[in-house]
């Protein structure tokens, strides 16, 4: 039998269902690789498969093991959000998204490293050290779901769960040469996800190919979760994509997201992919998202403002790190000083300032109005186009340490992904080529709940591009 690591998740599940692959053997193969992780992609790895592995194998996910970002609560397993302030925290419950996948037959393989509280674009903000890019260990994997992306790209996990607030699934997927999907906001329950910015956070898959993304997403969406008031019932079932042609598909290319500031190699790969889409029958035309240039500025008011409120609960009283002191205020101060990293402190301060008396309307109120304009821009674009397309990241993976001293340069890593997050629309990153020996990403976005259309178009492009990700796992 061929090496089970070489199989896609869908192929592995199919073989398990056919009785041609032992799920325990599959788990052991990945467990040994994850335990020997040299990329710092994992913060915890299961020592042995769960006792229910055989029963899980009968589920639609076939016992194929799952890596989960450390931002998700998992009962009895460290769930630390990449932060020292939660070091060793073991929740008494499991996040809905993870629980649904386990019930569908995906046993927990391990928890993956991330930027602290999902705040970062390089995975260098983790309290547990940076993750290395499997294509070049001197470069970042992207963030904040960098551990999940690196683990999948390197063959340490068949698929992984990440979260996307401003691009934290799509950007690392691009930098690591894999598929990353941010679903429609509300499509996947946020219950049990450790919150960063609640109006933006959304869970989604990172996978080797589009079929795997569809397979796992189909088990994540579904009926509303009564534990999450923002969750929505998905209007249809997620189907495995089969399209080979794009006849009749209208793809818009926003002028604001496909020109200045994008590396030449990234732009070249993007334009080549647009030509492929046209050869497959799609109509590709320029379109406008006039307020997209303001998205990053609005995001870095709104997301820190929500973070400053969400992170107020980490005070050393109930769980996590506690620095003893003579007074309550001093205990709060010491705990938060020692428990939070520099980027988290920066965003808490930015957010608190934006919400403060006398500045609320000037910053937070104005940013919300910009967000509304961006939503309207996408709505108008989708009246004429089925999907819009742009590069996922303006650059390929950059060197470790290259942007840690320049927060603005780091924030610009998300300039092409943040507009979709503010609009709440689904978006997918597809590997579409190489630039200077590193992978590039092609981003597609659609109207709310258009995931099936998005997956079909991405699948057709994937077959035509035929990207070879094997060097990432060598």
Q: Which of 121, 122, 144, 308 is catalytic?
A: 144
- pTM, rounded to two decimals: 0.96
Is residue 471 over pLDDT 90? no
Concerning whether 14 is annotated as a catalytic residue, the answer is no
Q: Is residue 146 within 8 Å of residue 114, measured between CB atoms? A: yes
Q: What is the per-residue pLDDT across 143-176, written as a single tens digit (0 to 9) for each?
A: 999 999 999 999 999 999 999 999 999 999 999 9
Q: What is the per-residue pLDDT across 100-150, written as a single tens digit (0 to 9) for each?
A: 999 999 999 999 999 999 999 999 999 999 999 999 999 999 999 999 999
Average the pLDDT over 1-10 and give the result: 88
CA distance 340 to 348: 10
Which regions of the chain carry the CATH code 3.90.1300.10? 4-245+460-473
> Which residues, including other chains, have CB under 8 Å from residue 106's CB and lie 6 or more apart?
56, 59, 61, 63, 64, 65, 66, 216, 219
Assigned CATH for 4-245+460-473:
3.90.1300.10
Q: Which of 148, 168, 174, 308 is catalytic?
A: 168
- pLDDT bin (cut points 50, 70, 90) of residue 318 is confident
Q: Which of 69, 121, 174, 182 is catalytic?
A: 69
Q: In this structure, are strands 250-254 and 179-182 parallel, antiparallel, or unpaired?
A: unpaired
Concerning whether 199 is annotated as a catalytic residue, the answer is no
pLDDT recorded at residue 474: 41
Q: What is the per-residue pLDDT across 28-77, written as a single tens digit (0 to 9) for each?
A: 999 999 999 999 999 999 998 877 667 788 999 999 999 999 999 999 99
Concerning whether 148 is annotated as a catalytic residue, the answer is no
**Of 161, 144, 265, 173, whose CA–CA distance to 216 is shortest?**
161
- pLDDT bin (cut points 50, 70, 90) of residue 470 is low
Task: Please report where in the chains the tokens 């009895």 appear, as a residue.
Answer: 76
Average the pLDDT over 82-97 and give the result: 97
Q: Is residue 91 within 8 Å of residue 73, measured between CB atoms? A: yes
Is residue 231 over pLDDT 80? yes
């Amino acid at each position: 039998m061929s090496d089970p690591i070489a199989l896609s998740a869908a192929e592995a599940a199919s073989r398990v269902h056919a009785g041609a692959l032992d799920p325990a053997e599959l788990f052991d193969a990945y467990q040994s690789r994850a335990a020997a992780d040299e990329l710092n992609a994992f913060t915890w790895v299961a020592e042995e498969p769960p006792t229910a592995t055989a029963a899980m194998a009968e589920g639609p996910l076939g016992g194929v093991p799952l890596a989960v970002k450390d931002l998700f609560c998992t009962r009895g397993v460290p769930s630390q959000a990449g932060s020292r302030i939660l070091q060793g925290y073991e929740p008494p419950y499991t996040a809905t998204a993870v629980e649904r996948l386990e019930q569908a037959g995906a046993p927990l393989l391990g928890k993956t490293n991330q930027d602290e509280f999902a705040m970062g674009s390089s995975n260098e903000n983790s309290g547990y050290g940076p993750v290395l890019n499997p294509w070049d260990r001197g470069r970042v994997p992207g963030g904040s779901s960098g551990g999940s992306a690196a683990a999948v790209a390197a063959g340490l996990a068949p698929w992984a769960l990440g979260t996307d607030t401003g691009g934290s699934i799509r950007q690392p997927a691009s930098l690591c040469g894999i598929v990353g999907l941010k679903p429609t906001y509300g499509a996947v329950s946020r219950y049990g996800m450790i919150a960063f910015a609640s109006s933006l956070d959304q869970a989604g898959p990172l996978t080797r190919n589009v079929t795997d993304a569809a397979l796992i997403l189909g088990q994540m969406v579904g009926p509303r979760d009564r534990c999450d008031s923002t969750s929505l019932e998905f209007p249809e079932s997620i189907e495995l994509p089969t399209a080979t042609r794009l006849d009749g598909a209208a793809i818009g290319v926003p002028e604001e997201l496909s020109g200045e500031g994008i590396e030449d190699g990234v732009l070249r790969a993007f334009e080549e992919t647009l030509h492929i889409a046209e050869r497959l029958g799609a109509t590709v035309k320029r379109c406008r998202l006039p307020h997209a240039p303001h998205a990053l500025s609005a995001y870095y008011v709104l997301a820190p403002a929500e973070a400053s409120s969400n992170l107020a609960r980490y005070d050393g009283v109930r769980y996590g790190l506690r620095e003893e002191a003579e007074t309550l205020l001093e205990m709060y101060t010491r705990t938060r000083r020692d428990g939070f990293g520099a980027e988290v402190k920066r965003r808490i301060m930015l957010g608190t300032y934006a919400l403060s008396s006398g500045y609320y309307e000037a910053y937070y109120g104005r940013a919300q109005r910009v967000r509304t304009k961006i939503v309207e821009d996408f709505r108008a674009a989708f009246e004429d186009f089925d999907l819009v397309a742009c590069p996922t990241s303006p650059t390929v993976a950059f060197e470790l340490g290259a942007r840690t001293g320049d927060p603005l340069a780091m924030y610009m890593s998300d300039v092409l992904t943040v507009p979709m997050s503010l609009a709440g629309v689904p978006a997918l990153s597809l590997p579409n080529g190489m630039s200077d020996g590193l992978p590039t990403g092609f981003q597609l976005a659609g109207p709310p709940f258009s995931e099936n259309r998005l997956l079909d178009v991405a699948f057709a492009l994937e077959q035509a591009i035929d990207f070879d990700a094997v060097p990432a796992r060598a």
